[in-house]
Amino acid sequence: MNKNTIIGSILIAIIVIWWMAVNNANAEAQAAARAAKAKAIAEKQAVQDSAKASNSLVLPQKTPEIKAAPVLGGGLDEGRKTKDESDSVIANPGTVSGVNSAKQSTVVKAEIAERTVTVETEKFIMTLTNKGGKVKSVIVKALPDSVGKFPELIQDTTLGAFDLKLDNADLSDAMFELGNTPEKIVVTDSASVRFVFQDANGNQVIRSYGFTKDGPAVRQENKFIGFQPSVYELAWKGGLKETEDIPKSKGFMGIGGGGTYYFSEVVFNNVYSVEREMPREQTSFNSTEGKVIWAGLRRKYVAMTVQFDEAVPATIKTKPMKIEGNDIDPGTYKLTIADDVRGAQALNYDLMVLPLNWDEIASLNKDYEKIIVSGWSWCGADVWFVWICKMLLKLLNLFYSIIPNYGVAIILVTLIVRGVTTPFTVKQIKSTRGMAALKPQLDEINVKYRSDPQKKQAAMMELYSKNNINPLASCTGGCLPMLIQMPIFMGLFFVLGRAIELRGAPAFLWITDLSRSDIVWSGISIPIIMPSGLAILPWLMVISTYFQTKVTMSSNAGMDPAQQKMMMWMMPAMMLLFSAVMPSGLVLYWIVGNIWSIAQYKYIYSKFPPINNGKTSSKLKGKNVKDAEIVK
């Protein structure tokens, strides 16, 4: 190694050592600066936290601290409270600095025992508890069972409904002061119950429930005194209980049991439409955009919702809640509603208890009737299909007002609907017949010109022109009438399966409840098909479906005889599986419809004889399709 190389190496080593020393010094200086900055931030945060300590809600660790102030609780608000008593609730709210007066600093340790208040109106009986100041039980009077007992709506009354959480303070288990409120209140005009929670800093949360004699709403007001929360969360942990006895079987492929005629849904109005959801896992709705007018839970004949005074950008979270020991019940949901409440002194809304009577809930003008029946908004079905269902229900109730028997009303409505749709059916059959009558000649053309598509197409068009048939119009003519009829038939199907008017309504003879299967002998049961006992209407459905299928197949020229025979037995078998657990009102509607179809087809075929195996009947031999009036 020469002299220059040694000197260069030494210089490089010196430079590297110097760079490392300088870099380490800079790193130490930067670390010290970061530590000083973090310390300053922590001290500043500590000062801020200390300054606003009295401006946030503090939950007690063991026993709540209750001020030795005048009466904190509420009670019956029917003009018996004095102004001083009302004002005493908001006295001594605490200060932002956390420094209280001598009177405010007087604290008495007190155990608050759990108490309940039961309020009865003409619509429901609601039990409130001071543990969380929430709803414990709701018993609805509109849905008595066979022995006159009113059903409970809260699935788990130990969890209850409408717990309140403000920021990080969960008031679910906080004990509220109830004052001298009586244990039972029967509302003759209006009444209110107040719960008051007060923390060690004098901050208060007042939860008030206002009742009217015959209204479906309970006014829930939450006042914040001495502090302003940023966010709230309203938790419905107890779910909504089914008021009806669900059949023992889910039916064929789940149809007819808990999945079809018994509902358990999360429902909400997001301004644009009413949504009915059945999430299978924990799910959030409306979390990123949109507003909510009301949200809640629904069972077959009843719903409970939180209805806001105006649309709010609230987030709805749900979690399925399976019913233990009952696999047939579709279960219910735990529901939470959360939103920003920053700057507000109160959080107010209405708790709605809603038996699903169409006219009553429609009168609230909040689109609650769409809980019963809704439709796709992209095609406007949430308007026109709901209107069709409404008209069908009004027609049903009109006939009931004339002849007070819903069985008779169902028969009359079915006959009218079938009568109105008969012209469409006739057009559909005639259109189908027109194409079927040409089938032998079309087959000849296909064989003759099978190697020349252009000549085949020209020959077919000449045949259509000769017989005044537009193949495109014929196709749409056959489908369009069916498309027109389907919404009406589906509307009547939905109405009869969901109308609260049919609950417990007898028809005639053995049909004692149109909302349930017509069980005549519970001593005999058929697994899956008739698990609860022997019913008659499903067998009548099988017979009527068999003959209806037979008369329909007789006009189907293109179907193989073996296929026709299979269909004649398969359709009745399927209808037995479906109808065995259907509400008897639906089965009655279907039977009457089948009888109408049999008579209708017999009449049409007498005017336009059927085509057998691709050939016209003897009445039409030697005649032109047009002359035979198969197509007009």
Instruction: State how far the Cα of 416 lies from the Cα of 399, in Å rounded to an integer.
Output: 11
Q: Classify burial at 172, counting beta carbons within 10 Å of its beta carbon; exposed 0-12, middle 13-18, buried 19 or more.
A: middle
pLDDT value, residue 475: 58
pLDDT value, residue 420: 85
Tokens representing residue 504 in the block: 């417990």
Ranked by mean pLDDT, the top range of 109-123, 208-222, 422-436, 531-545 is 208-222
Tokens representing residue 441 in the block: 């000649």
Residue 497 Rama label (left phi>0; alpha psi -120 to 50; beta): alpha
For residue 615, the SS3 value is: strand
Instruction: State how far the Cα of 553 lies from the Cα of 568, in Å rounded to an integer.
Output: 8
User: Can you tell me the mean pLDDT for 283-296?
Assistant: 91
pLDDT value, residue 66: 38
Residue with tokens 């059959």: 429
The two beta strands, 184-186 and 116-120, are parallel
Between 425 and 210, the more confident residue is 210
Radius of gyration of the chain (CA): 36
DSSP assignment letter at 488: H
Please check the confidence at residue 158 and state whether its pLDDT lies above 80. Answer: yes
Please check the confidence at residue 264 and state whether its pLDDT lies above 70. Answer: yes
Tokens representing residue 520 in the block: 């005549």
Asked if residue 481 lies in contact with residue 428, where contact means CB atoms within 8 angstroms, the answer is yes
For residue 624, the SS3 value is: coil
Please check the confidence at residue 164 and state whether its pLDDT lies above 70. Answer: yes
Instruction: State how far the Cα of 269 lies from the Cα of 89, in Å rounded to an integer.
Output: 36
pLDDT value, residue 143: 92
Asked if residue 203 lies in contact with residue 225, where contact means CB atoms within 8 angstroms, the answer is yes
Question: pLDDT grade, residue 40 (50/70/90)?
Answer: low
Strands (E), 163-254: 163-166, 169-170, 184-186, 190-198, 204-212, 217-225, 231-236
Angle CA 215–218–221, to nearest 5: 145
Instruction: State how far the Cα of 393 lies from the Cα of 362, in Å rounded to an integer.
Output: 13
What residue ranges of the chain are covered by domains with CATH 2.70.98.90? 65-372
Asked if residue 72 lies in contact with residue 206, where contact means CB atoms within 8 angstroms, the answer is no
Instruction: State how far the Cα of 538 lies from the Cα of 517, in Å rounded to an integer.
Output: 9
DSSP assignment letter at 174: P
Instruction: State how far the Cα of 612 lies from the Cα of 66, in Å rounded to an integer.
Output: 91
Asked if residue 580 lies in contact with residue 256, where contact means CB atoms within 8 angstroms, the answer is yes
Nearest to 583 by CA among 145, 152, 146, 245: 245
Please check the confidence at residue 308 and state whether its pLDDT lies above 90. Answer: yes
Asked if residue 347 lies in contact with residue 222, where contact means CB atoms within 8 angstroms, the answer is yes
pLDDT value, residue 582: 82
Angle of helix 471-498 relative to helix 406-437, nearest 10 degrees?
160
Tokens representing residue 623 in the block: 């005649």
Strands (E), 33-149: 65-67, 107-109, 116-120, 124-129, 134-140
Please check the confidence at residue 559 and state whether its pLDDT lies above 90. Answer: no
Helix (H) or strand (E) holding 289: none
What class does CATH assign to 65-372?
Answer: mainly beta
Question: At residue 507, what is the residue type?
Answer: A
Question: pLDDT grade, residue 379 (50/70/90)?
Answer: confident
Percent of the chain topping pLDDT 90:
44
Asked if residue 491 lies in contact with residue 394, where contact means CB atoms within 8 angstroms, the answer is no
Q: Poorest-confidence range of 71-85, 337-351, 583-597?
A: 71-85
pLDDT value, residue 575: 83
Q: How far is CA 47 from the centre of its chain?
A: 49
Please check the confidence at residue 521 and state whether its pLDDT lies above 90. Answer: no
**Residue 206 φ then ψ, to 5°:** -115, 120
Nearest to 262 by CA among 327, 330, 320: 330
Residue 408 Rama label (left phi>0; alpha psi -120 to 50; beta): alpha
Contacts of 469 (CB under 8 A, 6+ apart): 434, 435, 438, 625, 631
The two beta strands, 274-277 and 519-521, are unpaired
Tokens representing residue 223 in the block: 């006042």
pLDDT value, residue 572: 84
Between 169 and 4, the more confident residue is 169
Q: Which residues sit opposite 210 in a β-bridge?
A: 192, 219
**Quick count: other Cβ atoms within 10 Å of Cβ 246?**
17
pLDDT value, residue 518: 85
pLDDT value, residue 448: 85
Please check the confidence at residue 256 and state whether its pLDDT lies above 80. Answer: no
Distances in Å between the Cα of 73 and the Cα atoms of 69, 88, 93, 95, 239 are: 11, 10, 15, 21, 28
Q: Which residues sit opposite 109 in a β-bridge?
A: 65
Question: At residue 247, what is the residue type?
Answer: P
Q: Classify burial at 261, counting beta carbons within 10 Å of its beta carbon; exposed 0-12, middle 13-18, buried 19 or more.
A: buried
Question: At residue 52, what is the residue type?
Answer: K
Between 280 and 246, the more confident residue is 280
The 10s digit of each residue's pLDDT in 95-115 is 333 333 333 444 444 688 999
The 10s digit of each residue's pLDDT in 382-423 is 899 999 999 999 999 999 999 999 999 999 999 998 888 888
Between 616 and 42, the more confident residue is 42
Q: Poorest-confidence range of 581-585, 604-608, 609-613?
A: 609-613
Distances in Å between the Cα of 539 and the Cα atoms of 202, 496, 518, 575 are: 71, 20, 11, 9
Ranked by mean pLDDT, the top range of 53-57, 77-81, 472-476 is 53-57
